[in-house]
Amino acid sequence: MPNVPKNGRKSSAVLNNRLAIFYKAVNNAKATGGAVKHVLGQPTGTGTGGCTGQDASGSNAGRCVKYNDNSIIKNTPEIERQVNLRKAAAAYDNRRAVEIKLAALEAEIRLLNATATALLWAPKAFASHANGPNL
């Protein structure tokens, strides 16, 4: 898979972008003559030896992962890691939305607190100022 920059951003949008990079890499036919499809990595030779993890010359195998054609084309069956990643990204999006709402509520509470404090002390300050220091 091509190098993807690592960063702290997490969201469904970031995941979808990275999955697009993954699908682009997997949809390129590999091996001699493009005989092997839906593979992440690079099988050697014709690729008929499969994805064994061996990268010996002439083995027609390689360090790769072969995905079910229907998993890539029709998303059936779904790739389990992607299902889990999508669930995690959705949970992150939901948590982030709640954090934004909480920050807005916190700002409102701080404003209400400042207003209540000002109203509590304003009459005394006004009366003290209007009637002189003997109150």
Instruction: Split the chain (135 residues) into runs of 10 and give each run's mean pLDDT.
Output: 60 86 84 80 80 72 84 86 88 93 97 92 65 55
In a domain, 45, yes or no: yes
pLDDT value, residue 5: 56
Give the pLDDT confidence score for residue 106 in this predicted structure.
98
72 within some domain:
yes
Q: What is the pLDDT of residue 113?
A: 96
| Spatial CA neighbour of 50 closest among 30, 21, 33 | 30
Whole-angstrom distance, CA of residue 13 vs CA of residue 65: 25
Parent domain of 29: 12-77
105 located within any domain: no
Has residue 58 been placed in a domain? yes
Residue 80: predicted pLDDT: 86
Distance CA 60, CA 96 (A): 47
Residue 116 within any structural domain of the chain: no
Q: What is the pLDDT of residue 1?
A: 45
Is 112 a member of any domain?
Answer: no
In a domain, 83, yes or no: no
Asked whether residue 66 is domain-assigned, the answer is yes
Position 110 scores a pLDDT of: 97
For the chain, the domain total comes to 1
Selection from 42, 36, 40 nearest residue 62 by Cα: 42
What predicted TM-score, i.e. pTM, was given to this entire model? 0.60
